[in-house]
Amino acid sequence: MSRKIRILPDTVANQIAAGEAVERPASAVKELTENALDANASRVELAIERGGKRRIRVSDNGIGMGREDALLSLDRHATSKIQVAEDLTGVPTFGFRGEAMPSIAAVSRMSIETWDGRGEVGTCVKVNAGGISEMSDVARRRGTTVEVRNLFYNAPVRARFLKSVSAETRAVNEIVTALSLANPNVSFVLTSDDRVLLDLPPAEEPLGRIAQIWGSEHASTLIPTSRDEDGLAVAGLIQRPDAAKPGFRRSHLFVNGRPFRSPALVRAVERGYRTTIPQGVRPWLFLYLEVPGDQVDVNVHPAKSEVRFRDQNRIEGLIEDAIRSALDVEASAATFDQPGGELPSEADEIGKVEHVAKDAGTKAQMALFVPVASGDGGLGQSGIDESSASGGRVQPLPEPGTKPRLWQVLDTYVFAETRDGVLIVDQHAAHERILFQRLMDGFESGGQESQRLLFPLTLKLTAPEVAMIGDLGSLLSGAGFEVEDFGGDTVIVHAVPNPHRYFDAERAFREMVHELTHGSDLVRAARNQHERIASTFACKSAIKAGQKLSESEMQELFDQLFATELPHHDVHGRPTIVRLSRGELERKFGRK
């Protein structure tokens, strides 16, 4: 009886393996560039023709190879990166399987030129469809150059699935961009059909590399973030909320220096931006994770673009906290400043954080615009200290004895002079953030206080609105609204919150009920019912644009705002504050 099971020839096995490791020209570029980086190259030059379909050339100044290693590199599972299975734990190199070179060689015409600095000459090996056709000496500098021609010429089915030249070129550019961000200290040059796409000299840090690729205008919209916890660490750059736009975004994740993709971690970033950006906005992000080798598996897929974490929830929580903390400082506030000169370092950005308070050395007051019986005509004090109203989150204060100079413009914006320029506060947006924080903290402590009405409000509503009030009755009560169903389409409001002396309770309640019933971007963006109630309450109850404020009311607004968790952003994702630095003023007036 004849055998039905046969061992495939090496050439066929390598072509099959190529289908996993080399899906398109960009895959070959990725593997060859990673080999160059693993060889400690400080400069990598790449050239492609027709999106890499016709030609790919990757040249580096790394450690190079001797003749024997050059030949072995074409054998499957030949690698210098690991020796035993245990080496896969925390493998520090990009490559380790020993599959890329033979896989690429099996479906192309390849040449390798390399010299390791030993002996007088280097080695040139030419390969055709996986078979060595020529080997010779070559004079060259130390390093390696790999040239791949006619990718998939002997696999026409695979070739037919390649995309247009422009699409394949974009894919190559994205691969090189990601690797250059992972290695800012390495110089990269990428040309396509003799046109330079990237020319990146070494950069000291990721921010400099980002500026090289996308320009200082985009880089200046990024702010630093970092967080570490029990051996896990994340650091990087995220976009200021006011600069983030809908549509396409730059999203780059790295773990232990390796680029990877993770929709789950991107969603964790978006959760961190909660209540600071409008729905549908997609901020740029560049995050670098450092994780112990036994906590991450990079051997998930031949393309090595996916990783698996031992504790995914911890990683997501770490990233969410890192985003939240970055958005809590002044660097995240909107700015009039234009990019120019050197980009700020992480230390510079954090060092610039300065917040305004009534008296330095004293605690920020959390009046939250609740009137008191003193009849002083101002906004009054609630008697709630900052530890209960904001979880102890008190912003850094100016130097002792300072008091900001405040003035109102157009009965809508409050200007404050600081040590480094001017802060411009939107009074309605700022009060929204204050009221949102107060109510969210109130939900945790049993709800906020309400004021009994001498004459209750009798309101006629639609049937869906009455039903919604029934469903959310306890949460509305926690927000300070005591509501009774009077039957049919009528409810009676017996008590309401009193966030400020200009508060129109009936109007605010009607608008809240309508929005909670029929939906809005604000309601849809909230992660739970508590946030829905708090955000709509803040939006409908805050002091309005056009309301004239006294000096004490403006000061109180500042004190309260900077005691909240995210003082620079309102609940709609709009800025509460816009910064105008001394440097920008000097540039505008020609003093700098």
- pLDDT tens per residue, range 433-456: 999 999 999 888 887 888 898 899
Q: What's the rounded Cα separation, in Å, for the pair 214 and 201?
A: 14
Largest CA distance in the chain: 106
Give the pLDDT of residue 297.
80
Per residue in 332-362, pLDDT tens? 999 887 765 444 444 443 333 333 333 323 3
Same domain as 215, residue 193: no
Last residue of a domain, one of 160, 178, 200: 200
Q: Own/partner pairs for 470-477, CB < 8 Å, 24+ apart?
A: 472/516, 472/529, 472/533, 475/443, 475/529, 475/530, 475/533, 476/533, 477/447
Joined tokens for residue 175: 């691969």
Same domain as 151, residue 27: yes
E strands, 433-573, are: 451-460, 482-487, 490-496
E strands, 94-149, are: 109-115, 122-128, 131-138, 143-149
Q: Higher confidence at residue 223 or residue 521?
A: 223
Q: Residue 566: which of 517, 519, 531 has the closest Cα?
A: 531
Same domain as 307, residue 370: no
Same domain as 312, residue 173: no
Per-residue confidence band for 224, with pLDDT thresholds at 50, 70 and 90:
very high
Same domain as 163, residue 16: yes
CATH number for the domain that contains residue 238? 3.30.230.10
Q: Is residue 169 part of a domain?
A: yes
Q: Looking at residues 208-217, what average pLDDT do you find?
A: 94
Give the pLDDT of residue 285.
96
Same domain as 92, residue 192: yes
Q: Looking at residues 490-519, what average pLDDT do you find?
A: 89
551-561 vs 427-444: helix crossing angle, rounded to 10: 50
Give the pLDDT of residue 88.
43
Q: Is residue 2 part of a domain?
A: no
Range of the domain at 560: 354-448+543-592
Same domain as 157, residue 32: yes
DSSP H or E segment with residue 473: helix 473-478
Count of helix runs (H) and strand runs (E) in the chain: 20, 25
Q: What's the rounded Cα separation, in Å, for the pair 219 and 206?
A: 10
Last residue of a domain, one of 200, 230, 265: 200
Count of domains forming the chain: 4
- CA distances (Å), 29 to each of 68, 145, 311, 328, 381, in order? 24, 12, 32, 40, 64
Same domain as 382, residue 298: no
Q: Is residue 414 part of a domain?
A: yes
Give the pLDDT of residue 22.
83
Q: Is residue 347 part of a domain?
A: no
Joined tokens for residue 463: 């049937």
Same domain as 487, residue 419: no
**Bridge-based pairing state of the strands 308-309 and 490-496:** unpaired
Last residue of a domain, one of 200, 234, 266: 200
- CA distances (Å), 171 to each of 29, 44, 211, in order? 10, 18, 21
Q: Residue 254: which of 94, 98, 95 has the closest Cα?
A: 94
Q: Residue 442: which of 392, 391, 507 has the closest Cα?
A: 391
Q: What's the rounded Cα separation, in Å, for the pair 313 and 311?
A: 6
Q: Is residue 471 part of a domain?
A: yes
Average the pLDDT over each of 220-229, 267-276, 399-408 and give the range with the smallest value: 399-408
DSSP H or E segment with residue 220: none
Q: Is residue 588 part of a domain?
A: yes
3-state secondary structure of 39: coil
CATH number for the domain that contains residue 481? 3.30.1370.100
Q: Are 451 and 554 in contact (CB under 8 A)?
A: no
pTM summary value: 0.78
Q: Are 494 and 480 in contact (CB under 8 A)?
A: no
Q: Is residue 166 part of a domain?
A: yes
CATH number for the domain that contains residue 73? 3.30.565.10
Give the pLDDT of residue 403.
64
Same domain as 319, residue 257: yes
φ and ψ at residue 510, rounded to 5 degrees: -60, -45
Give the pLDDT of residue 442.
87
Q: Which residues pair with 296 in a beta bridge?
A: 309
Residue with tokens 């994770």: 289
Per residue in 123-143, pLDDT tens? 999 999 988 999 999 999 999
Average the pLDDT over each of 76-90, 311-325, 331-345, 369-383 and give the range with the smallest value: 369-383
CATH number for the domain that contains residue 400? 3.30.1540.20
Same domain as 163, residue 44: yes
Same domain as 461, residue 411: no
**Is pLDDT of 245 > 50?**
yes
Q: Higher confidence at residue 300 or residue 128?
A: 128
Q: Are 545 and 427 in contact (CB under 8 A)?
A: yes
Per residue in 82-128, pLDDT tens? 344 444 445 455 544 457 888 899 999 999 999 999 989 999 999 99
Q: Is residue 340 part of a domain?
A: no
Rg (CA), the chain: 31
3-state secondary structure of 91: coil
